[in-house]
Amino acid sequence: MCGTTGDGGDHPSGSVSVDSVDDLTYIRQFRERLGLEGIIDVHTHFMPERVMRKVWAYFDSAGPLTGRPWPIAYREDEQVRLKTLRDFGVRAFTSLVYPHKPEMAAWLNDWAADFAARTPDCLHTATFYPEPSAGNYVRKAIDAGARIFKVHIQVGAFHPADPLLDPVWAAISDAEIPVLIHCGSGPAPGQFTGPGPTAELLHRFPRLRLIVAHMGGPDYTEFLDLAERYPRTYLDTTMSFTDFSEAEVPFPIADLPRLRTLGNRILFGSDFPNIPYSYAHALYALDRLDLGDDWLRAACHDNAADLFGM
Ligand SMILES: [Zn+2]
């Protein structure tokens, strides 16, 4: 089953096998078995060309950061990447952008609004950074129809409860717009990653619809605790349960039953195109958890459809 192969054993380090025919076949059969007309992928990256190239350069040099190569499986032109997702049967996805410095977010938001306008199956995405102008441009993004925000705590290197973000969280909480937050300490920890700072944020804004990226890995247990405490908190499956992630910090077997209990708050995400294995493998990684077809349908489509009112 080549399409479901991760980065394990068969390939020399630094290479990756993505057999596009097997990829398509596996995903089609997966959807047919579940009776899913489409998949909703809450965690995909589309961004301005030169920013994407910088992200790819970062992963190309990821060896020293993560201790192992990170070959990008879907390094293609934007239009090819869009076609690939559509061929997989992905009916809705995001364009997660995130700033690493001040005075960048508003520009990214303009780009993402334009991208969503010309890409009807992309959920209009926006972002922010702790800076005095954040309240204004976030309100502007909400008024313009943003349906999801993204923040990256390790790349941005800020505390999610930074006082400069008070007006931002208040506005987003009132508007009930989901925020996908990369707050876990993988693949590299930051000063403000891990469950503590996010718990502080939720303590102050308990009605936020946070989507914790990567299931909060590697601190899976602590982020499941948070999701249990805050009923509007979601977890995205991005990269979790794959051979690539399991080789580093495996998801705790003892926590598997909690995935079933929280089954209406698990959202499929892929990190497409920046993944070091095939898209089919990300779905296979969920399938092999053996949580059942109802659970898979909810995770790969229904939960996100409810959350985004689709
Ligand atoms: Zn990502």
Percent over 90 (pLDDT), the chain: 86
* CA–centroid distance, residue 286 to ligand 1 (Å): 18
Quote the percentage of the chain above a pLDDT of 70.
92
pLDDT tens string 117-147? 999 999 999 999 999 999 999 999 999 999 9
Which is more confidently placed, 21 or 100? 100
Residue 14 has pLDDT above 50, yes or no: no
Q: Would you state the pLDDT for residue 3?
A: 38
* Spacing, Cα 238 to ligand 1 middle (Å): 7
pLDDT computed for residue 67 by the predictor: 75
- The average pLDDT across 258-276 equals 97
What is the whole-number distance in angstroms between the Cα of residue 274 and the centre of ligand 1? 8
Q: What mean pLDDT do residues 95-116 have? A: 97
Confidence bin at 6 (pLDDT 50/70/90): very low
**pTM of structure:** 0.92
How far is ligand 1, taken at its centre, from the CA of residue 150, in Å? 9
Distance 44 CA to ligand 1 centre (A): 6
**Rounded distance from Cα 273 to ligand 1 centre (Å):** 9
Least confident of 10-14, 140-144, 228-232, 255-259: 10-14
Of 303, 295, 296, 302, give the one whose Cα is nearest residue 282.
296
Distance of CA 132 from the midpoint of ligand 1 (Å)? 26
CA–centroid distance, residue 271 to ligand 1 (Å): 5
Domain ranges of the chain: 23-307
> Residue 64: pLDDT above 90?
no
Confidence at residue 41, expressed as pLDDT on a 0 to 100 scale = 98
Q: What confidence score (pLDDT) does residue 21 get?
A: 59
Mean pLDDT of 284-292: 97
Examine the pLDDT at 208 and tell me if it is beyond 70: yes
pLDDT per position as a tens digit, 15-26: 344 456 589 999
Tell me the mean pLDDT in the region 91-117: 97
pLDDT band at 11 (very low <50, low <70, confident <90, very high): very low
Give distance in angstroms: CA of 266 to centre of ligand 1: 16
191 has pLDDT over 60? yes
Instruction: Give residue 115 CA to ligand 1 midpoint distance, Å.
Output: 18
pLDDT of 188? 85
Query: Which DSSP string do the residues of the chain spell out, in sequence order?
Result: -GGG--SSTTS-TT-----HHHHHHHHHHHHHHHT-S-EEES-B----HHHHHHHHHHHHT-HHHHSS----TT---HHHHHHHHHHTTEEEEE-----SSSS-HHHHHHHHHHHHHH-TTEEPEEE--SSTTHHHHHHHHHHTT--EEEEEHHHHT--TT-GGGHHHHHHHHHHT--EEEE-S--SS--TT-SHHHHHHHHHH-TT--EEEGGGGTT-HHHHHHHHHHSTT-EEE-TTTTSHHHHTTSPPPGGGHHHHHHTGGGEE----BTS-SS-HHHHHHHHHTT---HHHHHIIIIIHHHHHTT-
pLDDT at 205: 98
Q: Is the pLDDT of residue 260 over 90?
A: yes
Class of 23-307 in CATH: alpha beta
User: Does the structure show a pLDDT above 70 at 43?
Assistant: yes
CA of 270 to the centre of ligand 1 (A): 8
- Give residue 71 CA to ligand 1 midpoint distance, Å: 15
Is pLDDT above 50 for 12? no
- As a whole number, the mean pLDDT across the chain is 92
pLDDT tens by residue, 289-302: 999 999 999 999 99
Judge whether residue 218 has pLDDT over 90.
Answer: yes
Ligand 1 center from residue 239 Cα (angstroms): 9
Rounded distance from Cα 45 to ligand 1 centre (Å): 7
Residue 193 C-alpha to ligand 1 middle, in angstroms?
15
